[in-house]
Amino acid sequence: MAGVRRSTILAMERIRLHRIALLAMWSTLVLIAFGAFTRGSGSGYGCKDRWPLCEGGALGGYLPRFEAEMMIEWTHRWIAMLVGIVAIVLVVGALRGNHSRRWVVGPAISALVVVSGQAWLGRMIVKGDLARDLVSLHLGISLIVVAHFVVIAVATGTPRPNPAAPRSWTALVGLSAVSVYAVMILGSIVHNMYFPGWPLVNNVLIPDLANRFVAIHFAHRVLTGAVFVLLIFLVVRARTDNRPDAERRLLDAGLAALVTNAALGALHVFTKVDSSFVVAAHVGVAGLTWVALVAATLVALGIPQPVTPQTAN
């Protein structure tokens, strides 16, 4: 009887933390997409160089004036604060429950540390006049934060026997995730820059690569094409090898998100990079691709595992 009660408590703790991890993950994805909208709309400097408050805002800067750029940047900062609060709640839940130190407690604490560092980096970006390299670094770290939350969400998912895949397969799935990460970073460097032609850059097979930004954008598109080919291979192979349903669904979702994002990339070019909504959607869907492939990699590693008092350590 005591064993049944203990199992019920463990299950409730797992479900509760799983939901918090999902909230943290989705909140961070919203933050990333809204950050792209903020940058795309030219609102990144809406609060001037004051941080975390807004220069010239109402109530000493705690509230924005009714000006579009200031309101957008103020909203971006408050979403970031909410992500930080959820990250704190996640750490508290991880420490209070009987959870895996490797897959839950460690990532939760690490995510909170990184989120705190992100706040400092956000300040540096504002003080540094929105330097392009710092903004790309900001995105890269945000994606790492998302990956932390995905690890926790997968590790606290419904326990099921899920043996690890062969290393070669896991490496390929992991490569697809890392490649999407690289695609997003390359894209962030040339964010808000217009390059005519799609899918060819400047409507030629190989553009003039002497220009640094043209070369980066060219690499962005070439790598996207390579990821597309790799994902088709993985989706087909997952079926022929009868990989677990969860893994197949995640790979399917990753491929669907990548194709959707390619269409958004084309729309981004056809609108001459003038639509902040397209920019936000482009980055947001790319984030979904990242989430799907990180989760698929974790499932290929054999996670989630049944959580018991013995495996919690």
For 74-112, write each residue's pLDDT tens digit: 888 889 889 999 999 999 999 987 777 888 999 999 999
Total domains in the chain come to 2
- As a whole-number percent, the residues of the chain with pLDDT over 70 amount to 82
pTM tops 0.75, yes or no: yes
Range of the domain at 137: 1-159
Helix, strand, coil distribution of the chain in percent, nearest 5: 75, 0, 25
Is there a domain that residue 212 lies in?
A: yes
Alpha-carbon span 123 to 125, nearest angstrom: 5
Final residue of a domain: which of 104, 134, 159?
Answer: 159
Spatial separation of the C-alpha atoms in residues 239 and 299, rounded to whole Å: 15
Q: For residue 90, what are its two tokens? A: 């996640």
Q: Is 54 helix (H, G, I), strand (E, B) or coil?
A: coil
* pLDDT beyond 60 at 3: no
Give the pLDDT band of residue 303 (cuts 50, 70, 90).
confident
146 and 173 share one domain: no
Residue 312: predicted pLDDT: 44
Measured between alpha carbons, how far is 260 from 132 in angstroms, rounded to an integer?
26
pLDDT at 66 over 70: yes
pLDDT in tens, 166-189: 899 999 999 999 999 999 999 999
310 occurs within a structural domain: no
Output the pLDDT for position 157.
83
The yes-or-no verdict on residue 307 having pLDDT over 70 is no
State residue 129's pLDDT score.
59
Q: Which of 126, 159, 192 is the last residue of a domain?
A: 159
pLDDT digits (tens, 9 = 90+) for 251-268: 999 999 999 999 999 998
Token reading at 1: 């009887």
Express each pLDDT in 29-62 by its tens digit: 999 999 888 877 776 656 666 666 677 666 666 6
Distances (CA, A) of 236 to 47, 77, 128, 245, 295: 49, 42, 46, 13, 18
Structure letter (DSSP) for residue 58: B
Whether residue 2 is found in the same domain as residue 147? yes
Do 206 and 149 lie in one domain? The reply is no
Q: Is residue 51 part of a domain?
A: yes
Provide the phi-psi class of 130: left if phi over 0, else alpha when psi is between -120 and 50, else beta: left
